[in-house]
Structure 1
């Protein structure tokens, strides 16, 4: 059963009416519409939840935050906007009036050789921060919601793999619920620990616009070493000029470039860069902006990366620096249970290729060591370099020399990434196992490939190779991302049924292949069991009964810094 929710009228009145409509299993209206004013929405949803519907709405972010704020959570949903984004480019879907209109409106990314990796930083019309007060009930009306649900279901049913695509849509929508719940609950964050760390590392908090004491001290050392008393080390142009005047021949100020140089200024400069990075990424200004009431609440963007990985807007949620992780402390009588899906992408590659030799190498142990024992004389470093090269398209150097050996050992798995690379080089799109696709090349890309001058041909060949490297990795990364989504959804479902005395979602943080639960200390063992069982279930849900382990490691800690 579905339950559609939509505004009953347009306008900016915060108390505007909302209409709920029950739909049958085929997505057709079934019963009378229920009209409630906005203030009664949470109560109406809570009552409807007893029938376990799948909520159909324009976007989870439009409706779910205010339900959570009222103490109401939902079990399932169908996020039309996230589903629309998947179907618009999925190669599993053939043409239809609905999909044709989506594809005509979709950005073609003209002028770019590769699909855009991240969404634009600006918020889309159906997204708002949890800290913003929504001013209007926006979005399409009920008949449009019902019509689009029907069009999406028809597109999936007519696809070449409706079962897989249905699972992907369900997992993506479940991810949207988890993201909203994570934002609502927040990640526990001790401001006092963070401030003490900043003072210990940078010195006391300086006046606005001034450098902290330790940063200024190191800047003085750098100026003295470069004999540049007026140097502003925050200016890359000034810094490069000062380095070159001192005889340090570098073209960038990146750390990897500087570390190869031998000069008394290099030590202070690397120290300055590290301290400056801490100040800009997680300093006092960041703390004021993003930590409230002992919680870090960033804005997660589900499907924000073209491969289906999540992104975030503001706060750097998916890049929590090791320098500040000790500030992530569990509440009293609670622990973090941190789970990591070890070596997820190469294991997923084994599943994609149904490669028995690679599955054997991965079974019950360190996959890279398993590969090394099978064909690299036990040299784990070489085995890892070869596998990463295969997934990321390293065709030169040591990784390139090892590729033939890897291909002989695992022809099916290597065949998957090689086929994806050839498709990308020819301008075609490729898909994950469940059906998330990257767009085909743009017309500008094809025009460059048709060019005739020697210089343009060199550019065309480089662009084709770059696109091949992208598609080679896309099929693996996107398939790993959808496994992680199914894992996340299974964790959420199993936690809800576990009896652990907390709200429905105890998922505090999610990063690609890592999940952090925040649970009472007495329930840590049960939480670890749930994490492992959910991983096994996710593998079976996607790939069926295959002889392949996608194991996870878990650890219970009171500080996130203790997890790794």
Structure 2
């Protein structure tokens, strides 16, 4: 399939690097030849007229924060480090030897690092090494390596689109950190007080936490039970006949004992206290803005991660604290069943796409007579994508295979490839990590004539685990690509709206965002836009149009819906 707009010829690029006290700007044409070199003082290198330039730099989070402070927005960039991580591993690249040899551009500490079975879908790639090159010659050399790799690949259009989307995401990550999520301290404090009690003195617990702890210790008949140490808590539980092997709330809930209910309450309260209590509020949202540190491409599938503040774990309970400034509002949108819809489009499965068209996908599967209830449909779909083989998932997945053979065939084939030690790729060409040498050694040991049954069992388990990983890699990774396309399109539409009068209430945010709608938050399939009220309808339309545009960009005319749960409200509370 040809991806619309992805194969356009490259315009001139401007590479930015540092040399001594100067910033060196190297202009490169479409043939990768240098046409101009300019030096500017490091303190005054940026000019507002440069905003429309297609910049190439080592890392967006090293160069862009200073530009935002001017204040200016960059239209487009090429992030060399993020692109390097994609291209050096992509199965679409015919010859990646030169990229793999340029280890100075690798992410620190993650060179093919995987556990024995497989990397989890949520493994963070890590932070970049401090020594990522910023000198002009190495920046130019890496850019040429990357462009030659793309041009010589088996699908240059898709890789160009993937690298462009990844780089746009890097710009947005810096922008969202700078703008921050509007956060109402009084609402947050009210929720904490209603849930935990008044703020305690340093080193003490809130009153409701203490009360729950007292009830647990009374039920355990152990006044000195340590509820915060798992080994010690388990010993206390075992003494009263609760033979749990962990303090996981799902396992604890299986036991009928008077200590369980208050213990679950205690765990819930202390989790809120430690993750988003008063200390979190003082550290992360003291100025009325929550400024998480996003890590684009931080997960092996291309999903984002966060290196601070728990941006990817804002609990439902605290979402009312995400509140727009006076005169502004929030446009909150999330995609229904993003990954199954992406799977239908990738597989060109008209039947599954038909079940999703104009309705809840799980309800559509029920209406098609495949399963009886929405819950069964959800269990079956998630089981198919994540490789569940037992319980309800194992019972229901065969029905999906009969109803949607193309979609199920795609994930089954990805699983088989993984089990055999191969790699799989997303729609645009991000490729899974290779099987580790340790994994291959386990498989080889099981094939030896003297192998024991234990060796063979271990190898089968490792193969199944890797197959589950690759099964979902292709879906989760392509969903991340759709989300990046959505974000990049929306970013452009928001930038096209003219700024309004300055907003005094937002004086603590970056000046560039005080007068215009901007993305404030992103989590996998959900976005929050902070906008002046006057632009609320225009922003809502832009969010919908960007979602439609992302679908067309990736999947052309294939008839798949990506419906949005979109609401315009003063806060981000979920009903």
Shorter-chain TM-score bucket reads over 0.9
**Where does residue 546 of structure 2 map in the other structure?**
534
CA deviation after TM superposition for structure 1 residue 112, in Å: 2.8
**Where does residue 485 of structure 2 map in the other structure?**
486
Looking at structure 1, the residues matched to 569 and 382 of structure 2 have their Cα atoms a distance apart, in angstroms, of 30
After TM superposition, the structure 1 stretch with the greater mean CA deviation from structure 2, 113-122 or 386-395, is 113-122
Q: Deviations over 1:47-80 (max 9, x none)?
A: 223xx22100000011001111220211000000
What pairs with 1:94-493 in structure 2 (closer than 5 Å)?
A: 94-102=94-102, 107-109=111-113, 112-115=116-119, 117=121, 123-125=127-129, 139-376=133-370, 378-451=372-445, 452-493=451-492
CA contact (8 A) 1:369 1:378 kept: no
**Where does residue 508 of structure 2 map in the other structure?**
none
Residue 30 of structure 1, aligned match among 17, 35, 42: 35
**Where does residue 79 of structure 1 map in the other structure?**
79
CA contact (8 A) 1:344 1:550 kept: yes
Looking at structure 1, the residues matched to 98 and 482 of structure 2 have their Cα atoms a distance apart, in angstroms, of 28
Moved over 6 A (4+): 103-106
CA deviation after TM superposition for structure 1 residue 507, in Å: 0.2
TM-score by length of 2: 0.91
TM-score by length of 1: 0.93
SS in 2 for 1:21: strand
CA deviation after TM superposition for structure 1 residue 392, in Å: 0.7
Q: Deviations over 1:1-58 (max 9, x none)?
A: 211111022xxxxxx2211122223332222x2212122123x3x2223xx2210000
CA deviation after TM superposition for structure 1 residue 522, in Å: 2.1
Residue 19 of structure 1, aligned match among 24, 31, 46: 24
CA contact (8 A) 2:126 2:298 kept: no
**Where does residue 566 of structure 2 map in the other structure?**
554
What pairs with 1:47-66 in structure 2 (closer than 5 Å)?
A: 47-49=49-51, 52-66=52-66
Looking at structure 2, the residues matched to 97 and 479 of structure 1 have their Cα atoms a distance apart, in angstroms, of 25
CA contact (8 A) 1:178 1:505 kept: no
Looking at structure 1, the residues matched to 58 and 103 of structure 2 have their Cα atoms a distance apart, in angstroms, of 19
SS in 2 for 1:375: coil
Looking at structure 2, the residues matched to 84 and 430 of structure 1 have their Cα atoms a distance apart, in angstroms, of 18
SS in 1 for 2:34: coil
Cα 1:425/1:102, change in 2 over 3 Å: farther
Q: Deviations over 1:288-340 (max 9, x none)?
A: 22113111111100000000000001110011011221211111111110111
SS in 2 for 1:192: helix
Q: Deviations over 1:117-172 (max 9, x none)?
A: 55668642359xxxxxxxxxx73311221221111011011111110010000000
SS in 2 for 1:228: coil
CA contact (8 A) 1:341 1:552 kept: yes
1:92 is aligned to 2:92: yes
CA deviation after TM superposition for structure 1 residue 110, in Å: 5.9
After TM superposition, the structure 1 stretch with the greater mean CA deviation from structure 2, 268-277 or 100-109, is 100-109
CA contact (8 A) 2:133 2:139 kept: no
CA contact (8 A) 2:124 2:300 kept: no
**Where does residue 545 of structure 1 map in the other structure?**
557
CA contact (8 A) 1:344 1:480 kept: yes
Looking at structure 1, the residues matched to 208 and 115 of structure 2 have their Cα atoms a distance apart, in angstroms, of 45
SS in 2 for 1:495: helix
SS in 1 for 2:88: helix
Cα 1:97/1:420, change in 2 over 3 Å: closer
**Where does residue 498 of structure 1 map in the other structure?**
497
Looking at structure 1, the residues matched to 114 and 388 of structure 2 have their Cα atoms a distance apart, in angstroms, of 27
After TM superposition, the structure 1 stretch with the greater mean CA deviation from structure 2, 458-467 or 185-194, is 185-194
Cα 1:534/1:120, change in 2 over 3 Å: closer
Q: Deviations over 1:484-524 (max 9, x none)?
A: 00000000011111335356660000000111100012211
Looking at structure 1, the residues matched to 379 and 416 of structure 2 have their Cα atoms a distance apart, in angstroms, of 22
Relative contact order, higher structure (CA 8 A, sep 6+): 2
Looking at structure 1, the residues matched to 545 and 362 of structure 2 have their Cα atoms a distance apart, in angstroms, of 24
Looking at structure 1, the residues matched to 415 and 430 of structure 2 have their Cα atoms a distance apart, in angstroms, of 17
Cα 1:433/1:122, change in 2 over 3 Å: closer
Unaligned 5+ segments in structure 1 are 10-15, 128-137
Cα 1:346/1:500, change in 2 over 3 Å: farther
Looking at structure 1, the residues matched to 258 and 390 of structure 2 have their Cα atoms a distance apart, in angstroms, of 34
Instruction: Kindly report the root-mean-square deviation, in angstroms, between the aligned alpha carbons of the 2 structures.
Output: 1.9
After TM superposition, the structure 1 stretch with the greater mean CA deviation from structure 2, 61-70 or 78-87, is 61-70
Looking at structure 2, the residues matched to 120 and 362 of structure 1 have their Cα atoms a distance apart, in angstroms, of 32
Corresponding pairs, count: 542
After TM superposition, the structure 1 stretch with the greater mean CA deviation from structure 2, 498-507 or 250-259, is 498-507
CA deviation after TM superposition for structure 1 residue 108, in Å: 2.6
SS in 2 for 1:18: strand
1:523 is aligned to 2:535: yes
CA contact (8 A) 2:121 2:299 kept: yes
CA contact (8 A) 1:336 1:518 kept: yes
